[in-house]
Homo-oligomer: A and B are copies of this chain.
Amino acid sequence: MALEHPHELLIQRLRSLGALDGEEQEAVRALPARVRDFAENSDLVRQGERPVECCMVLRGLVCRYKMVAGGRRQILAIHFTGDLPDLQSLHLAVMDHGISALTVARAAFFPHDAIRQLGRRHPNVYELLMKQALIDASLFRDWIANIGRRTAYQRIAHLFCEVFMRMRKLGLAEEDSFRLPMTQAELADATALSTVHVNRVLQQLRRERLIVSSGDVHAIADWDGLRHAGDFEESYLHHD
């Protein structure tokens, strides 16, 4: 299984975005990689930093976040195994946000230099990386709309739809359930709500039998219902 092997995982991700020929795959395999483990709640990359590597999630749940005045946190994105949460650092010198581990996590780090060289020699690989970055931006746009113009109930339903679809595509979800080890406080930071309100909305979603949760695994009991409740329209995921 390619799971957890950095290069194979990266190749798998790139191939899910477009074709890669053998030579390109070899070039990816030749990338230097450094693997590091992270404790829950530790930063993979800190805001303000000037990274010299891009990271890829190998294991665990990772988020990007920003702090605002008053010490409140906004989670900007959630990332799973195989995701590349800081491709922008290839071209933007300083981190405008942090990347942090929501659970214990493991990540691979690929040096910018090496990626850039690879990109120059194999423009197709570079384009696939950029395609991934553009998909990330598409998710940001959707989060703006979700947080800006949907009710708490819709927001949470929408987030669950997104997470489920993405995990399905990555082979990280079951047929109709997924494990999302986030506390309600973290869900609150992702949806711009309070912990208490997240709790109440989750209860409502369960009461209405849209989801059935036990611990941190959530079963989609009524996909059409959830999708409708969350005003979810998946084209922004660009899953093709």
Chain A interface residues toward B at CB < 8 A: 48, 64, 66, 68-69, 72-74, 76, 87-88, 90-94, 96-97, 119-120, 123, 126-127, 130-131, 133-138, 140-145, 147-150, 154, 192, 231, 235-236, 238, 240
Contact A91 B138 (CB under 8 A): no
B69 close to A145 (CB less than 8 A): no
Name the CB-closest residue of B to A95: B235
Contact check, B140 vs A144: say whether CB atoms are below 8 A apart: yes
Q: Which residue of B lies closest to A133 (CB)?
A: B134
Give the distance to chain B from A221, nearest Cβ to Cβ, in Å: 21
- The distance in angstroms between the C-alpha atoms of A240 and B93, with both chains bound, is 9
Report B-chain residues with C-beta under 8 Å of the C-beta of A154.
Answer: 69
**Which chain B residue shows the least CB distance to A134?**
B88
Say yes or no: B133 contacts A130, CB within 8 Å.
yes
- A238 with B123, Cβ < 8 A, contacts A68-B150, A143-B144, A149-B72 known: no
Among B73, B123, B136, B192, which residue has its beta carbon within 8 angstroms of that of A119?
B123
CA distance A36 to B143 in the complex (A): 31
